[in-house]
Amino acid sequence: MLAESAEKYRHTRSTTERFCAPLAIEDFVVQSMPDCSPTRWHLAHSTWFFETFLLLAFEPNYQPVSADYQFLFNSYYNGVGKQFPRARRGLLTRPTVADVFEYRRQVDQRVMRLLSELPHDRATEAARIVELGINHEQQHQELMVTDLKHLFSCNPLQPIYRSPSDRLATHTPSNSAVWSSFAGGVTSIGSSAATFVFDNECPRHQTLLQPFEIRNRLVTVGDFLEFMGDGGYTRPELWLSMGWSAVREQQWAAPLYWEQRQGQWLRFGLDGLCPVSADEPICHVSYFEADAFARWSHARLPTEAEWEQAAGTLEIRGSFLESEHYHPQPCGPDCSSPITQLFGEVWQWTASPYTAYPGYEAASGALGEYNGKFMCNQYVLRGGSCATPRSHIRSTYRNFFPPDARWQFSGIRLARNPKSQHESSMPNRSA
Amino acid sequence: MLAESAEKYRHTRSTTERFCAPLAIEDFVVQSMPDCSPTRWHLAHSTWFFETFLLLAFEPNYQPVSADYQFLFNSYYNGVGKQFPRARRGLLTRPTVADVFEYRRQVDQRVMRLLSELPHDRATEAARIVELGINHEQQHQELMVTDLKHLFSCNPLQPIYRSPSDRLATHTPSNSAVWSSFAGGVTSIGSSAATFVFDNECPRHQTLLQPFEIRNRLVTVGDFLEFMGDGGYTRPELWLSMGWSAVREQQWAAPLYWEQRQGQWLRFGLDGLCPVSADEPICHVSYFEADAFARWSHARLPTEAEWEQAAGTLEIRGSFLESEHYHPQPCGPDCSSPITQLFGEVWQWTASPYTAYPGYEAASGALGEYNGKFMCNQYVLRGGSCATPRSHIRSTYRNFFPPDARWQFSGIRLARNPKSQHESSMPNRSA
Amino acid sequence: MLAESAEKYRHTRSTTERFCAPLAIEDFVVQSMPDCSPTRWHLAHSTWFFETFLLLAFEPNYQPVSADYQFLFNSYYNGVGKQFPRARRGLLTRPTVADVFEYRRQVDQRVMRLLSELPHDRATEAARIVELGINHEQQHQELMVTDLKHLFSCNPLQPIYRSPSDRLATHTPSNSAVWSSFAGGVTSIGSSAATFVFDNECPRHQTLLQPFEIRNRLVTVGDFLEFMGDGGYTRPELWLSMGWSAVREQQWAAPLYWEQRQGQWLRFGLDGLCPVSADEPICHVSYFEADAFARWSHARLPTEAEWEQAAGTLEIRGSFLESEHYHPQPCGPDCSSPITQLFGEVWQWTASPYTAYPGYEAASGALGEYNGKFMCNQYVLRGGSCATPRSHIRSTYRNFFPPDARWQFSGIRLARNPKSQHESSMPNRSA
Amino acid sequence: MLAESAEKYRHTRSTTERFCAPLAIEDFVVQSMPDCSPTRWHLAHSTWFFETFLLLAFEPNYQPVSADYQFLFNSYYNGVGKQFPRARRGLLTRPTVADVFEYRRQVDQRVMRLLSELPHDRATEAARIVELGINHEQQHQELMVTDLKHLFSCNPLQPIYRSPSDRLATHTPSNSAVWSSFAGGVTSIGSSAATFVFDNECPRHQTLLQPFEIRNRLVTVGDFLEFMGDGGYTRPELWLSMGWSAVREQQWAAPLYWEQRQGQWLRFGLDGLCPVSADEPICHVSYFEADAFARWSHARLPTEAEWEQAAGTLEIRGSFLESEHYHPQPCGPDCSSPITQLFGEVWQWTASPYTAYPGYEAASGALGEYNGKFMCNQYVLRGGSCATPRSHIRSTYRNFFPPDARWQFSGIRLARNPKSQHESSMPNRSA
């Protein structure tokens, strides 16, 4: 079992480092906003995770590579110790990038040795920590993409991480969007966890759904331009109250990374500044924008349970980190199929606040801080994105961000109540 | 029908004004924080509501008492027009308090005349608006209590609104707290609305509950002092991440309005500064504190569906606005009954984020802004408080506040999963 | 001597209260920004000053009217004790306005009795404190005018303190502005203090002036409109760096209290909203605006020593508090005289940072906090304004405000270096 | 003449780069606070200065190395064009450090060619710009030292720029501080500019000084520890009002870069963390601290005119950038001489707000923005520091910083009024 763990470990660690290859040392260091972290910090923190929860726990008398790193690269685990303040991660120029890669190398060696030497009776437990650490590092792979994009977007030189590949000449017919109906009823969601899942996906449990309809494909740039053209960003009646405040205070008039030049909308990406493409999924919108677009569409966002029922046992297909597009791709030939684009491309905002499933229990110890303590004022997103590793996503996976977050690859899928339900009158309801 | 409306209208309006009787003119004017409004603003805004949605809608050629008031006393209805900024309500010294009472008088006269003269075919619709306006004014009655309390608490003189009444010498036995079990299953919550309800209580719909247990009574001051004595405010592992930030940034070490003098805890109230009383329900805690207390208790907060199932068809008893305590009272003789203190005393934080029920539709027009646009980053509270009018509350009623709000009469009731459920193991769950 | 003190005391105290006569109780309570105080606070604080520095110091066993007032109405005297935070003065609704007037009455009685009973050997010292307290109260009379104006300006109803009096049909000829020349040289400024002065006017001392020219009259609204018309608020080269930041951050495009309606500039005042009048002195400009206007005029602001030399022994004439205009008046018939409008109308910004005169020593004890501790990042203004009591001003008087302050009646007088000096070349000077 | 300019140019440019030799690439990139700039920005901006004011002005058809750099590396010259926001300089990871050195190389080549080829009639003008640019770059050399120190201080690893050299075992006798008397009178200060000076040092002009005494040496760490031990940071009566606010809001309890461990005070420096040394000049104090220390000492800070008179025609001796201590050194053998330590070690706060000298005129064009527009809310410092190039300083040199700035090498020298003056009474002065 640990041989397999070791193999996955090696693969994950090298994937992380491969993404860094095109970067200049300068690019590793800077923090462009408190929500983002420097690339170097991601490299070090994911290493700290293995050192702390694996080496320190399983290797007798293990001495940390550096006592300072234990403090500097702890993200938010109060159970482990104090943390260097998140918003100041960009103030550290030492350890250098080379130091951090050396830190990775040393921890990798020790992990490899541990996995080859660990006695049988601890193997299961260690394998679980390794798997958790791999999934943790995969999350940081995605953040490395989104945080680098944000950093580069702050630079008027608009640095290019990698030149654009040839684009697929895909066309998404405007009539390709159809509603797929689901009957609702008592259904089970969440994971029974025969394989690795995060604690927030558990336990698998029954829930009751009303009948619903869900859109077969993602909302496109073209769809969203219609919303913008219809005054979407200037009509308060379309917005949640907090969303409307965000529009005015942050002066939102388009998705993040968009700018208008001579009447044309351009979007910044890791491949530079390009005209927007109508067929691509809309991206870098907040929950507030997704919600307003849905209201404008006389629809709504799906709940996470609806999304999960729709996903059912569909095969996981789409653009992921491995395709190295770092940008959502248009819907291909299966664009008119009853349900498509559920995975990859962009995370799909759901209408569901991020809460504990019934019977949820956080893990014990410091690892219990992984998910549970963030269950407040965030919304669930489903399906993964073009920056998510393929092996990281599944239909029960719950991502979560605050409703004003826009720097993730986040997009929109619509849902609605069936017609018959619309017609039922509610005569005494007021206000 | 309109005769009954008129009677209720008169009663509600005079209740509002009776609360103002002990106030000095100065007390009507000041806004102590952005969430609070001056008493005078509440008086004027609740009048504006009737003028806007009743008189302007139903009375031909109605001329507003003042065009300025239409702007100054609109709270947040974009559909009606622009609004004077909420955080600046305390900058207005004119119209004077006397002007505002005169505004109330004029609108009252016109409403009375309208209700007596309105043709039959518009009576039903008008009655619904009157009922909505009454319920709206009742909400502001409660806010007048909580906002005045906050204002007085800012004054080192600690003004007394009304001298304390004789306190009930009630003792809540420490062993009085028991768990009541509910079987869960498919149950209906929400309102089918034969009588007035708010749109957010609709539609009545089925939901699926797991078996659960709920505490028969509210958490008391004595219970909460144990939490404090056990380091409750200093242990990050008990708190949500955002809650722990609030503790540190706002330096919370006790409920709002508490202060320690010579080792003794005192609490400020409309009856002045008194020692805390162990038997009273704990009050003026945020969702964060309620959640942390529950975690410390190896329990959790109930969901709103659980609370509603527990409330069932219980009679509504407890201390309300009419009792004029303006402070939650200890549990009386029925303290050990299987379920008690569901209504009145303190609003009970639930674990449920404030969201739309399945099939929810906001009212059309400006009144649609009443509830729906606030469904974001707030939590549902149930049951009413000692500042809620008795006729205002019901088992389906959904109040909502952000998780850090403390100036409402908000308290705690615990719930938990049944034992058997605890023992089920989840072998592959990680992180 | 004390009989004269008592008479002045009575006069000052009643002047303060006379200004309050037109106010509604509501108007006394509110604080419109941290720099302003509620009227009621001014009434109480000026009373506290006499109670603290006179009654407590001179009357054996004096008991304060209220121990709370000692804390609530101390402005910034650390030597006396703790202070209620300045920015929260508007949160107090108690003591009520009536309570504060009662406080004044009681202190007045005790002061009167003290002054009639005090033994000879302490009379001189007491008379000095009375005189200081009177001058202190006069400063607060001016602040009551400016703070009330600011408060009313926040109200869209634009309350009128007093209806406008008939305006003088004065015309200020545009060619009336002339330069008056002064020879400079060693001159004495400051006070030798045969009568009451503040410590910051002392000691009288010699200073060396270069030859200079000063404008005979104040800058008018008409002059300033030319500056605005020439892009004054949009050209960074005219501004100090901090001034330009203020323009952009606070979006200044005109003096405070100005607004444009249908192409016409109006200004708000205690007499309501009126069209601006070209002949009046410009008012409610910051040091930054004064400095930018001077640069645009190829001139500069006078230093305070230049101003004081120009003032020489001129008779003090102009509009003061007693004229009850509460607004600067146009230059009258003497408009073309060599030097005019030195006193009254508007405070004149000088180029001089507010610093200690050579040999300055602050008074000992808490009264030493009156002036000295504010000698940082403020600029000196000279001459008094239409809100300054006539008996309060003199040619050595130094007022001071931060360079971005605009809510005082502050205006502009120009100065410049004589031509000959301009022509001197400075060949090696760089950068 | 231009040959000499070229030689100085080469020397200055290489001095700048030599300072960078020990840095890791990461160290060049980060901005630790808005007042500081990344090292790389200093390197590029000083190059931009030569490119803009020399190459673009003197070389026909000169094409900038990069149009982007014209925007990115303009500091605050509105006359040249828009500027990248100062507080965001640390967000740029491109151009890389290597790119910036290449930028320097290209500009250096062009400057060298220009200086060798320029026709005679433009040589004088060009030489002046070169000299200005050299002085400008020297200012940035000093800022590179102070900004790097601040950056490193934010890192818990406390990086060492260079290991400490052997320290001089100098002892400053506690009785070495003596007062030197000056007679005052009409004196001339400022520069008549036979050689290069900044415009703010001109014109040389007469001023009138009262008699004064000035301390022969700088205030030491030992002196300042006495102030701290006497409650210096906890006694509001010692502080300016704004200073006392800074103490409380920024929680000052010692000079910047000091920390206490086990009862001992340590100070961070480019040579790491060391115990403070009593004989060294106190350093990294704000104007507020200097002023409070002076008040505690029953003394005051000198005015800049007093300082300049005391400096007279003394030889310039002390530690400068070239000594590469980057830390002020204790007073040597001449410690008891009548006046010493006037130059080098630490900038000396004066009591003088930074204002224009009488007759001051800013240069025309964009270079006029160099000094004049900052003459507001800053204080003059004199004498240079251990980070100032030796050839950069002179007795007329005026440095300036806001009164709360602490990250420069800023220290204290005391002055006072002669005794006889103290004894003069001012009987009628009040308040």
Q: Is B155 exposed, middle or buried (0-12, 13-18, 19+ CB in 10 A)?
A: buried
Chains in contact with D, where contact means 3 or more Cβ–Cβ distances below 8 Å, are: A, C
Q: Which residues touch D348 (CB under 8 Å, ≥6 apart)?
A: D218, D302, D307, D342, D381, D382, D383, D410, D411, D412, D413
- CA–CA separation, C276 vs C264, rounded Å? 8
In the predicted model, what is the mean pLDDT of residues D351-355? 98
Task: Identify the pLDDT of residue C1.
Answer: 67
Q: Is B389 exposed, middle or buried (0-12, 13-18, 19+ CB in 10 A)?
A: buried
Angle, helices C241-249 vs C287-296, to 10°: value is 120
CA distance C56 to chain B (A): 22
CA–chain centroid gap for A372, Å, is: 17
The answer to whether the Cβ–Cβ distance between D132 and C370 falls below 8 Å is: no
CA dihedral C336, C341, C342, C346 (to 10 degrees): -150
CA–chain centroid gap for D17, Å, is: 19
Please provide the average confidence, as pLDDT, over all residues in chain A: 93
**Chain D interface disruption, residue of A93, A152, A155, most D CBs within 10 A:** A93
Rounded to 5 degrees, what angle do the CA atoms B232, B299, B308 make? 120
End-to-end C-alpha distance for chain C, whole angstroms: 61
Of C94, C154, C159, the CB nearest to B88: C154
Do the beta carbons of residue C22 and residue C144 sit within 8 Å?
Answer: no
CA distance B386 to chain C (A): 25
**Chain A interface disruption, residue of D74, D84, D91, most A CBs within 10 A:** D91
Considering only alpha carbons, which residue of chain B is nearest residue A427?
Answer: B193
The answer to whether the Cβ–Cβ distance between D239 and C373 falls below 8 Å is: yes
Q: In what order do the strands lie in the sheet with B347-353?
A: B399-401, B379-382, B347-353, B410-411
Helix then strand then coil, % of chain A, to nearest 5: 40, 15, 45
In the predicted model, what is the mean pLDDT of residues A211-232? 97
Each residue's pLDDT tens digit, C147-156: 999 999 999 9
Task: Identify the pLDDT of residue C420.
Answer: 60
Q: Residue A1 pLDDT > 80, yes or no?
A: no
Helix (H, G, I), strand (E, B) or coil at D204: coil
With CA atoms as reference, report the closest residue to A49 among A140, A116, A125: A140
- CA–CA separation, B221 vs B96, rounded Å? 41
Number of Cβ within a 10 Å radius of residue A275: 10
The answer to whether the Cβ–Cβ distance between A96 and D24 falls below 8 Å is: yes
CA distance B373 to chain A (A): 4
Task: Identify the pLDDT of residue C166.
Answer: 60
User: What one-letter code names the amino acid at D260?
Assistant: Q
Do the beta carbons of residue A42 and residue A23 sit within 8 Å?
Answer: no
With CA atoms as reference, report the closest residue to C350 among C413, C394, C396: C413
Helix (H, G, I), strand (E, B) or coil at A94: coil
Do the beta carbons of residue B37 and residue B89 sit within 8 Å?
Answer: yes
Rounded to 5 degrees, what angle do the CA atoms A188, A191, A193 make? 140
Each residue's pLDDT tens digit, D163-205: 876 655 566 666 778 999 999 999 999 999 788 999 999 999 9
Each residue's pLDDT tens digit, C167-176: 555 666 666 7
Structure tokens at A44: 């070090």
- CA–CA separation, A218 vs A413, rounded Å? 5
Task: Identify the pLDDT of residue A167.
Answer: 56
Task: Check contact D-A (3+ Cβ pairs < 8 Å).
Answer: yes
Task: Identify the pLDDT of residue D168.
Answer: 54
pLDDT band at C211 (very low <50, low <70, confident <90, very high): very high
Contacts of A41 in chain D (CB under 8 A): none
Q: Residue A244 pLDDT > 70, yes or no?
A: yes
The answer to whether the Cβ–Cβ distance between D428 and C194 falls below 8 Å is: yes
Helix (H, G, I), strand (E, B) or coil at D409: coil
Of B76, B203, B430, the CB nearest to A199: B430
Of C352, C373, C431, the CB nearest to D241: C373
Task: Check contact A-B (3+ Cβ pairs < 8 Å).
Answer: yes
Rounded to 5 degrees, what angle do the CA atoms D368, C240, D76 make? 60
Do the beta carbons of residue B271 and residue B164 sit within 8 Å?
Answer: yes
End-to-end C-alpha distance for chain A, whole angstroms: 61
Structure tokens at B341: 């203190």
**Chain A interface disruption, residue of D82, D83, D93, most A CBs within 10 A:** D93
Number of Cβ within a 10 Å radius of residue A186: 11
The answer to whether the Cβ–Cβ distance between D430 and C375 falls below 8 Å is: no
CA distance B425 to chain C (A): 56
What percent of chain D has pLDDT above 70?
94
Contacts of A241 in chain B (CB under 8 A): 76, 373-374, 376
CA distance D18 to chain A (A): 20
Considering only alpha carbons, which residue of chain D is nearest residue A97?
Answer: D26
Higher confidence at residue D337 or residue C229? C229
Q: Which residues touch C424 (CB under 8 Å, ≥6 apart)?
A: D203, D359
What percent of chain A has pLDDT above 90?
88
Q: Residue C83 pLDDT > 60, yes or no?
A: yes
Q: Residue D428 pLDDT > 60, yes or no?
A: no
User: What one-letter code names the amino acid at D19?
Assistant: F
User: What one-letter code names the amino acid at C260?
Assistant: Q
**Alpha-carbon Rg of chain B, whole angstroms?**
22
Question: DSSP state, A43?
Answer: H
- CA–CA separation, A261 vs A284, rounded Å? 19
Structure tokens at B123: 């009576």
Helix (H, G, I), strand (E, B) or coil at B15: helix
The answer to whether the Cβ–Cβ distance between A198 and B241 falls below 8 Å is: no
Task: Identify the pLDDT of residue A430.
Answer: 43
CA–chain centroid gap for B323, Å, is: 16
- CA–CA separation, C38 vs A366, rounded Å? 52
Handedness of CA A382, A387, A389, A390 (dihedral sign): positive
Q: Is C423 exposed, middle or buried (0-12, 13-18, 19+ CB in 10 A)?
A: exposed
How many residues are recorded in chain C?
431
Helix (H) or strand (E) holding A177: none
The answer to whether the Cβ–Cβ distance between B207 and A206 falls below 8 Å is: no
* The model's pTM: 0.95
Do the beta carbons of residue C69 and residue C100 sit within 8 Å?
Answer: no
How many residues are recorded in chain B?
431
Of B32, B90, B96, the CB nearest to C24: B96
Backbone dihedral region for residue D188 (phi beyond 0: left; psi -120 to 50: alpha; all else: beta): beta
Please give the C-alpha separations between residue D201 and each of A337, B38, C191, in angstroms, as whole numbers. Answer: 78, 57, 31
The answer to whether the Cβ–Cβ distance between C88 and B154 falls below 8 Å is: yes
Structure tokens at D87: 């507080």
Chains in contact with B, where contact means 3 or more Cβ–Cβ distances below 8 Å, are: A, C
Question: DSSP state, C332?
Answer: -
The answer to whether the Cβ–Cβ distance between A90 and D154 falls below 8 Å is: no
Please give the C-alpha separations between residue D183 and each of C361, D208, D396, in angstroms, as whole numbers. Answer: 20, 11, 20
Please give the C-alpha separations between residue D79 and each of B293, C235, D54, D360, in angstroms, as whole numbers. Answer: 61, 10, 15, 20
Backbone dihedral region for residue B118 (phi beyond 0: left; psi -120 to 50: alpha; all else: beta): beta
In sequence order, what DSSP letters do the residues of C75-118 get, joined into one string?
Answer: -S-TTT-----GGGGGG---S-HHHHHHHHHHHHHHHHHHHHH-
The answer to whether the Cβ–Cβ distance between A155 and D24 falls below 8 Å is: no
Structure tokens at C404: 């971005």
Of B78, B198, B429, the CB nearest to A202: B429
- CA–CA separation, D381 vs D405, rounded Å? 12
Average pLDDT per consecutive 10 residues, chain B (431 residues; last block may be shorter): 92 98 98 98 98 96 96 94 95 98 98 95 94 97 98 97 70 77 96 91 97 97 98 97 97 98 96 95 98 98 98 93 96 85 97 97 88 96 98 97 98 92 41 42
Q: Which residues touch D342 (CB under 8 Å, ≥6 apart)?
A: D307, D310, D311, D314, D318, D348, D383, D395
Structure tokens at B117: 């003269």
The answer to whether the Cβ–Cβ distance between B30 and C26 falls below 8 Å is: no
Higher confidence at residue B403 or residue C177? B403
pLDDT band at C189 (very low <50, low <70, confident <90, very high): very high
Residues in chain A whose beta carbon is closer than 8 A to a beta carbon of chain D? Answer: 24-30, 32, 68, 71-72, 84, 88, 90-97, 151-152, 154-157, 159
- CA–CA separation, A344 vs A323, rounded Å? 10
Please give the C-alpha separations between residue B33 and each of B25, B37, B74, D236, in angstroms, as whole numbers. Answer: 19, 8, 18, 30
Chains in contact with A, where contact means 3 or more Cβ–Cβ distances below 8 Å, are: B, D
Secondary structure tally for chain C: helices H, strands E: 11, 14
Handedness of CA A189, A190, A193, A194 (dihedral sign): positive
Number of Cβ within a 10 Å radius of residue C287: 29
pLDDT band at D423 (very low <50, low <70, confident <90, very high): very low
Helix (H, G, I), strand (E, B) or coil at B198: strand
Helix (H) or strand (E) holding B79: none
CA distance D53 to chain C (A): 11
In the predicted model, what is the mean pLDDT of residues C55-77? 95
The answer to whether the Cβ–Cβ distance between C68 and B28 falls below 8 Å is: no
Of C131, C358, C429, the CB nearest to D199: C429
Instruction: Give D153's Cβ-side CA count (13 Å radius).
Output: 21
Q: How many CB pairs under 8 A join B and C?
A: 89
Do the beta carbons of residue A300 and residue A412 sit within 8 Å?
Answer: no
